Amino acid sequence: MPSNNSGGPKNPWGNGTGAVPGSAPDLDDLIRQGQDRLKRMIPSGSPRGIIPLVVLALLGLAAWSAFYTVPSDSVAVVQRFGQYLKEVPPGLHFRVPLGVDTVTIVPVKRQLKQEFGFTTPGATDPYQSPRDGKRETEMVTGDLNAALVEWVVQYRISDPFKYLFEVREPGATLRYVSESVMREVVGDRTVDEVITIGRQEIETEALTKMQALSTKYVMGISIDQVQLKNINPPAPVQASFNEVNQAQQEKEKLINEARRDYNKVIPLAEGEKDQRIREADGYRLKRINEAEGDVARFNALLAEYNKAPEVTRRRIYIETLQEVMPGIRSKIVVDDQMRGILPLLNLDAQQGVKP
């Protein structure tokens, strides 16, 4: 049962006619306008035969007002004598005239929004920021700092019956709920989180809490998105806050540059270290293998030497001469019984000096 049977629900779009934009004109207003026009058209002292014409005109006006059109993005909630009757889809429909049926158009497929702290020119939502919009944006953060928070709530009407009859002024109620939730969420975070890194978390948490409260209050509203806009410190501390932000940005810049240099130098040094280690391991293995080979060759030579010492000694001598002699340019064979070799040896020719 509707809670306001006397005059139907108050129009949430506030056009002052008792119906939302796109609904049929009020019957009383139409009858009153028709009477005024007939009075201006019929001069005083007219014959009584005009009265049936007036009655016919009023009946035609009533029949014309019995038809109404519902836009494609809306549904119409029909009340008969103030009691909820039904919901009708988009299109042309008939209602009982003379104030028996009243129709309220509800845009269920249109995304509505409420703006906090600012007003967009041409916005269609009736519940805009008050003239002193700054007051609803002034909030205290968790570290007892002040911040000016502007945000937007985008929502849809999911249940026209609940939207019109369960809560009085659901749009205004949603505005109070949104402001309360945003103050709670902002109050749990520091001013740095609110202004810089915590925006996404604030939007997500505020959306969850607003939807939970709208469901709890049976408002018939589905909240699609909560979006933070401008977040600034109060004007008296704006300059100081900007200086702090610049210092923090400079700090982050220097840290990033240091990390860049670190990532550039350290991997290079690590690569050189690994290269040196591998080179040392290779040289170690080479020296070990060479030493082991020399030991094996010496052991084999020693075994042959033990079998025939004289023969082995002579073979070693000959093999050594085979390796050494090819590298000697001049070869002089001297008899050990010769007393002197100077008369036979041309030293100047050996040294390349002309006589």
Structure tokens at 16: 């002052």
Same domain, 256 and 217: no
Question: Are 229 and 244 in the same domain?
Answer: no
Average pLDDT over residues 252-273: 91
Which range of residues forms the domain containing residue 178?
A: 112-233
The pTM of the whole model exceeds 0.75: no
18-21-23 Cα angle (round to 5) = 70
pLDDT band for position 79 (cuts 50, 70, 90): very high
| 207 and 144 within one domain | yes
Please choose, from the candidates 88, 122, 118, 120, the residue with its C-alpha nearest in 3D space to the C-alpha of residue 103: 88
Residue 301 lies in a domain: yes
Per-chain mean pLDDT for the chain = 80
| Domain shared by 251 and 314, yes or no | yes
Q: How many domains does the chain have?
A: 3
Q: Cα angle vertex 143, ends 141, 146, to 5°?
A: 45
Residue 266 domain-assigned? yes
Q: Is residue 16 part of a domain?
A: no
- Same domain for 239 and 229: no
What percent of the chain has a predicted confidence (pLDDT) above 70? 75
pLDDT band of residue 316 (cuts 50, 70, 90) is confident
Indicate whether 34 and 89 sit together in one domain.
yes
42 and 142 inside one domain: no
Q: What share of residues in the chain are helix, strand, coil (percent, to 5)?
A: 50, 15, 30
280 and 240 together in one domain: yes
Last residue of a domain, one of 106, 138, 168: 106
Asked if residue 338 belongs to a domain, the reply is: no
- pLDDT tens for 131-184 read 556 788 889 999 888 889 999 999 999 999 999 999 888 988 999 999 999 999
Q: Looking at the domain assignment, is residue 332 inside a domain?
A: no
Residues 319, 206 share a domain: no
